[in-house]
């Protein structure tokens, strides 16, 4: 058992930070820097932010809700048609909105994307919302690259399939991003939307608006580790070649509980292709 306790003072401080517009990641980093263990800090953040959501909403601090892709508009079913193939539905969670798909990609498609991406990998960068530039980020120890939309036949085929699966236009998708994680590499918990409180965000949003959903496609099966994790609901999605995890966030706020990360790869390597969906056309 942890020796640290979540005190009322700590809860009050977290609410102050959230209402001042600081992101959950910033608050978490500040808590870790002042000596809180990650376990206690995450528990305190989760409890405080989920229990205080009505108060935050009433104080007008939540961004507006926007439409998001919905892959299962008629409820849960065992499989869905994705334009050129039937895709299995393995798990369907309402809050946060998470759906795990099986056999979205064939083994050959996974291998081809890995081969095409392999020669172009560089240390992963993330968009720095303070300025809009990209930067190498210690929270993300993978290597990565972006394809342009439709750059290869296999990208085009997968993009059309994803558009059919999610009922969301191809034009609203960013190019596929491929990540390779070696042993020990991870992607610490984060949100995929752009933080509205950061000065660089308005410039980023000019091209297609906010990100509203993510689809992480598994291109191989790591020997051990590398799950995609959703700490707010303690959900781990096992990476399995050809499968994919979809999650959406209808506003750029932790209330969506879309906090997610890539757990460290323990043995072997992990390859994923991520498709981010924007509100509007991403040209
Ligand atoms: O590789 C993953 O599991 C993962 C986890 C969190 C990928 C992303 N985020 C991402 O590409 O945004
Ligand atoms: Zn992510």
Residue range 169-193, pLDDT digits in tens: 999 999 999 999 999 999 999 999 9
Residue 122 shares a structural domain with residue 15? no
If asked whether residues 37 and 88 sit together in one domain, one would say no
Residue predicted with more confidence, 50 or 192 = 192
Q: What is the rounded CA–CA span in Å between residue 62 and residue 252?
A: 8
Are residues 122 and 170 both part of a single domain? yes
Same domain, 221 and 257: yes
Q: Which residue from 150, 158, 256, 269 is spatially nearest to 211, judged by alpha carbons?
A: 256
- Dihedral angle sign, alpha carbons of residues 195, 197, 201, 207: positive
Structure tokens at 187: 């992607």
Q: Give the residue-averaged pLDDT of 260-270.
A: 98
Q: Is the CB of 187 under 6 A from ligand 1?
A: yes
Q: Are 37 and 85 within one domain?
A: no
Q: Pick from 144, 146, 228, 258 the residue to mutate for probing ligand 1's pocket: most ligand atoms within 8 Å of its CB.
A: 228
Q: Which domain holds residue 131?
A: 79-278
Confidence band for 46, pLDDT divided at 50, 70 and 90: confident
Nearest CA to ligand 1 atom 11: 274
Residue nearest to atom 4 of ligand 1 (CA): 262
Q: How far apart are CA 77 and CA 187, in angstroms?
A: 31
Ligand 2 centroid to 9 CA: how many Å? 31
Mark whether 47 and 94 lie in a shared domain. Answer: no
- H helical segments located in the chain: 8-19, 24-33, 38-51, 53-58, 107-118, 153-166, 201-205
User: Tens digit of pLDDT for each residue in 126-171?
Assistant: 666 666 666 556 667 789 999 999 999 999 999 999 999 999 999 9
Give the integer Cα–Cα distance in Å for 112 and 163: 20
CATH of the domain at 273: 2.60.120.620
Contact 236, 264 (CB under 8 A): no
Residue 83 lies in a domain: yes
Quote the ligand 1 centre to 216 CA distance (angstroms): 6
Domain assignment present for 181: yes
The verdict on 218 and 122 lying in the same domain is yes
**More confident site: 122 or 64:** 64
C-alpha distances out from residue 111 to 41, 104, 106, 218, Å: 39, 14, 9, 11
179 lines ligand 1 (CB under 6 A): yes
How does residue 30 score in pLDDT terms, banded at 50, 70 and 90?
confident
Quote the distance between the C-alpha of residue 204 and its chain's center: 17
Distance 12 CA to ligand 1 centre (A): 31
| pLDDT tier for residue 57 given thresholds of 50, 70 and 90 | low
Q: What value does the mean pLDDT of the chain take? A: 89
Asked if 261 contacts 187 with a C-beta cutoff of 8 angstroms, the reply is: yes
| Cβ of 256 below 6 Å from ligand 1 | no
**Does one domain contain both 29 and 157?**
no
**Do 93 and 185 sit in the same domain of this protein?**
yes
Taking the C-alpha atoms of residue 180 and residue 93, their distance in angstroms, rounded to an integer, is 27
Asked if 31 and 125 sit in the same domain, the reply is no
Identify whether 66 is part of a domain.
Answer: no
Check whether 71 has a pLDDT greater than 80. yes
* Residues 198-211 pLDDT 10s: 999 999 999 999 99
Residue 71 maps to a domain:
no
Which protein residue has the closest C-alpha to ligand 1 atom 6? 261
Mean pLDDT across the stretch 53-66?
72
Q: Within this chain, do residues 156 and 267 fall inside the same structural domain, yes or no? A: yes
Smallest CA-to-CA distance from 276 within 202, 186, 190, 185 is with 190
- 180 Cβ inside 6 Å of ligand 1: no
Task: Give the list of residues 6+ apart from residue 89 with CB closer than 8 angstroms, or none.
Answer: 72, 76, 77, 78, 79, 80, 99, 100, 101, 102
Q: What torsion, rounded to 10 degrees, do the Cα atoms 132, 137, 142, 146 define?
A: 10
> What's the 69 CA to ligand 2 centre distance in angstroms?
17
pLDDT in tens, 73-110: 999 999 999 999 999 999 999 999 999 999 999 999 99
Instruction: Say if residues 178 and 118 touch (Cβ distance below 8 Å).
Output: no
Per the domain annotation, does 87 fall within a domain?
A: yes
Structure-token pair, residue 222: 């790591």
Considering its fold, how many domains does the chain have in total? Answer: 2
Residue 64, domain member (yes or no): no
Q: Which residues contact 279 (CB under 8 A, 6 or more apart)?
A: 66, 67, 172, 208, 209, 210, 212
Report yes or no on 2 lying in a domain.
Answer: no
Please give the average per-residue pLDDT across 1-22, as a whole number. 63
Q: Which atom of ligand 1 is nearest to the CA of 239?
A: 3
Overall average pLDDT of the 224-233 stretch: 98
Bridge partners of 99, per DSSP, are 92, 246
174 ligand 1 Cβ < 6 A: no
pTM: 0.80
pLDDT above 90 covers what percent of the chain?
Answer: 70
CB 191 within 8 A of CB 254: yes
Same-domain check for residues 197 and 110: yes
In the structure encoding, which two tokens stand for residue 253, read together?
């706020």
3-state secondary structure 218-239: ECCCCCEECCEEEHHHCEEECC
- For residue 140, tell me if it sits in a domain: yes
């Amino acid at each position: 058992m942890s020796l640290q306790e979540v005190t009322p003072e700590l809860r009050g401080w977290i609410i102050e930070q959230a209402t001042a517009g600081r992101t959950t990641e910033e608050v978490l980093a500040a808590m870790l820097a002042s000596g809180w263990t990650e376990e206690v800090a995450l528990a305190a953040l989760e409890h405080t932010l989920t229990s205080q959501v009505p108060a935050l909403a009433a104080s007008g601090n939540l961004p507006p809700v926007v439409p998001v892709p919905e892959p299962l508009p008629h409820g849960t079913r065992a499989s869905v048609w994705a334009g050129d193939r039937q895709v299995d539905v393995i798990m369907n969670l309402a809050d946060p909105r998470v759906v795990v798909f099986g056999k979205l990609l064939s083994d050959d498609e996974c291998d081809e994307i890995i081969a095409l991406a392999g020669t172009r990998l560089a240390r992963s960068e993330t968009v720095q919302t303070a300025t809009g530039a990209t930067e190498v980020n210690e929270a993300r120890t993978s290597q990565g690259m972006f394809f342009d939309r439709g750059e290869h036949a296999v990208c085009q085929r997968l993009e059309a399939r994803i558009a059919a699966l999610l009922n969301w236009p191809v034009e609203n998708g960013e190019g596929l991003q491929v990540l390779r994680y070696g042993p020990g590499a991870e992607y610490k918990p984060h949100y995929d939307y752009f933080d509205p409180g950061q000065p660089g965000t308005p410039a980023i949003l000019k091209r297609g608006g906010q990100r509203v959903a993510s689809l992480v496609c598994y291109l191989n099966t790591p020997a051990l580790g590398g799950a995609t994790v959703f700490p707010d609901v303690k959900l781990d999605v096992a990476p399995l070649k050809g499968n994919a995890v979809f999650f959406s966030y209808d506003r750029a706020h932790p209330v969506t509980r879309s906090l997610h990360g890539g757990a460290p790869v323990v043995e072997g390597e992990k390859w994923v292709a991520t498709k981010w969906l924007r509100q509007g056309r991403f040209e």
